[in-house]
A and B are shown apart, each in its own frame.
Chain A
Amino acid sequence: AQKVTQAQTEISVVEKEDVTLDCVYETRDTTYYLFWYKQPPSGELVFLIRRNSFDEQNEISGRYSWNFQKSTSSFNFTITASQVVDSAVYFCALSEVPSGAGSYQLTFGKGTKLSVIP
């Protein structure tokens, strides 16, 4: 069974600090997909990134970067020079290739609440 662990329940940082959100996953598959979603205080869920298990290249998008390490089953998310608008709950999620006639299902971690203090 697939599992996603976000050990950090809540994190507070002062604006302009860098912060890393941890995500550790468990899967028996060799092919799988990892995601990060953001949920700001307004409540909607916003897609941030998707990676497949064969692409271990780190990704950078503006102040956001993701570090995928298969050796440690981790897919960590770093925000550089954090801003108040980054305050949100961030979810890591995992999807395995379905067996038989099944379909991909997303398993979410419990989320990390990030508070950026001005």
Chain B
Amino acid sequence: NAGVTQTPKFQVLKTGQSMTLQCAQDMNHEYMSWYRQDPGMGLRLIHYSVGAGITDQGEVPNGYNVSRSTTEDFPLRLLSAAPSQTSVYFCASSYSTPGEQYFGPGTRLTVT
């Protein structure tokens, strides 16, 4: 099992550009989520999904969209990148909630 994979590992965007962070898991987990990690802030939940076709907002959803068309994939879209979105993004999945969450390796995003 590859576990939770994220691509890309690093990305630099200009303000206003859009992009999609990819997340996939091969553990057949129903629950998936996206977090951002900023220095001194811990991890904050952006969006989450409890199954294919079902998504909901977390603590900091503004500027991000998600969709869940399959159990395996949970992409995070930045609509119009802003410097405030410079962060490390983690995708996670779990078999159930509130179960152990398996985290991907992270994507380091810089918006200039």
User: Interface on A for B, CB 8 Å cutoff?
Assistant: 4, 9, 33, 35, 43-47, 50, 91, 95, 102-111
Contacts and interface: CB of A to CB of B under 8 A. Distances in A.
Interface in B25-49: 31, 33, 35, 40-45, 48
Interface string B86-108: 00101010000111111101100
B103 A44 contact: yes
Interface residues of B, number: 26
Contacts of A108: 35, 42-44
A103 B31 contact: yes
12 contacts: A4-B42, A35-B100, A44-B103, A45-B43, A50-B99, A50-B100, A91-B42, A102-B56, A105-B45, A105-B48, A108-B43, A111-B42
B interface secondary structure, majority: strand
Contacts, number: 54
Contacts of A9: 40
A4 B45 CA distance: 14
B43 A104 contact: no
A96 B102 CA distance: 19
B81 interface: no
Interface string B41-85: 111110010100000101100000000000000000000000000
Contacts of B102: 47
